[in-house]
A and B are shown apart, each in its own frame.
Chain A
Amino acid sequence: DQQVKQNSPSLSVQEGRISILNCDYTNSMFDYFLWYKKYPAEGPTFLISISSIKDKNEDGRFTVFLNKSAKHLSLHIVPSQPGDSAVYFCAASAKLQKGAQKLVFGQGTRLTINP
């Protein structure tokens, strides 16, 4: 069973418009949520995170919204730029021993920004 789901495998947005990427999760024990961005031939790069006790976190053009009752989070990018074209992964964090954490990832959404 997949605990973190990104139901849209791809999304195409015009440059300058808002990109909205969605993610759903099933486990209420996750205490932090993160978004990663991945370019081909590179590892995932951390983008933005949100604690489970908050409902919004903003960093420049990127805002993450968390709806705990719906077990849903979304990433808003505005305005979208061509350099934002990449695969975006949603991840949920759970505690492990000795200060480590376990990240459970969604399948990813390929975002394409069209000029």
Chain B
Amino acid sequence: ETGVTQTPRHLVMGMTNKKSLKCEQHLGHNAMYWYKQSAKKPLELMFVYSLEERVENNSVPSRFSPECPNSSHLFLHLHTLQPEDSALYLCASSQDRASYEQYFGPGTRLTVT
């Protein structure tokens, strides 16, 4: 595997379910990010981890819970979501500020029914 991978690619869940999104980066980066892209809205930053420590939490509802067990893996735990949480969830990684670039995974398309 190369770059940033995300699983699953598609997820349909009910409002009472609990599920997790997984992200893995194979680039040796030390910062990882969760973004949300809703229809007709710009990408919104949700969480940032750097050196496995959360450094940004953008007023995200507590039904979204991130976890970063090491610098290569990032999870987003979901529980009691609402239909308006249906969106594309993108993971990204970066290395310090050497290049300012963030490398994105392909995203998980989440539908809450």
For residue B94, CB closer than 8 A to chain A, the reply is: yes
Contacts A41-B106, A98-B51, A105-B43; A93 near B100 (Cβ below 8 A)? yes
Interface pair B42/A98, CB less than 8 Å apart: no
Question: Which one of B4, B44, B90, B94 lies within 8 Å of A100 (CB-CB)?
Answer: B94
Quick one: given A2-B42, A43-B105, A101-B94, are A34 and B55 in contact (CB under 8 Å)?
A: no
Q: Using a Cβ–Cβ cut-off of 8 Å, how many residues does chain A contribute to the interface with B?
A: 28
Q: Using Cβ atoms and an 8 Å threshold, which residues of chain B touch A46?
A: 101-103
Report the Cα distance A107→B42, complex, angstroms: 4
Minimum C-beta distance from A42 to chain B (A): 5
Q: Does the CB pair B56–A100 fall under 8 Å? A: yes
Give every chain B residue within 8 A of A45 (Cβ-Cβ). 104
Q: Which of B31, B33, B43, B105 contacts A89 (CB 8 A)?
A: B43
Give the distance to chain B from A43, nearest Cβ to Cβ, in Å: 3
Contact A43 B55, beta carbon cutoff 8 Å: no
Closest to A2 in B: B42
Known: A34-B101, A99-B31, A99-B96. A104 touches B45 (CB 8 A): yes
Q: How far is the CA of A43 from the CA of B90 in the complex (A)?
A: 7
Residues of A within 8 A of B102 (CB): 46, 101, 103
Known A42-B106, A49-B100; contact A98-B45, beta-carbon cutoff 8 A: no
Smallest CB separation, A39 vs chain B (Å): 10
Given the known interface contacts A49-B100, A98-B55, the answer about A105 and B106 at a Cβ–Cβ threshold of 8 Å is: no
Q: Does A73 contact B (CB under 8 A)?
A: no
Q: Are A101 and B100 in contact (CB under 8 A)?
A: yes
A34–B94 Cα distance when bound, in Å, is: 14
Selected from B4, B33, B50, B107, the residue in CB contact (under 8 A) with A98 is B50
Closest 10 CB pairs of A and B: A43-B104, A98-B50, A100-B50, A99-B96, A105-B43, A100-B31, A105-B42, A97-B55, A32-B100, A46-B101
Q: Pull 28 A–B residue pairs with CB atoms less than 8 Å apart, ordered by A.
A: A41-B106, A42-B106, A42-B107, A43-B92, A43-B105, A43-B106, A43-B107, A44-B43, A45-B104, A46-B101, A46-B102, A46-B103, A49-B99, A49-B100, A89-B43, A93-B100, A96-B50, A98-B50, A99-B31, A99-B50, A99-B96, A99-B97, A100-B31, A104-B45, A105-B42, A105-B44, A106-B42, A107-B42
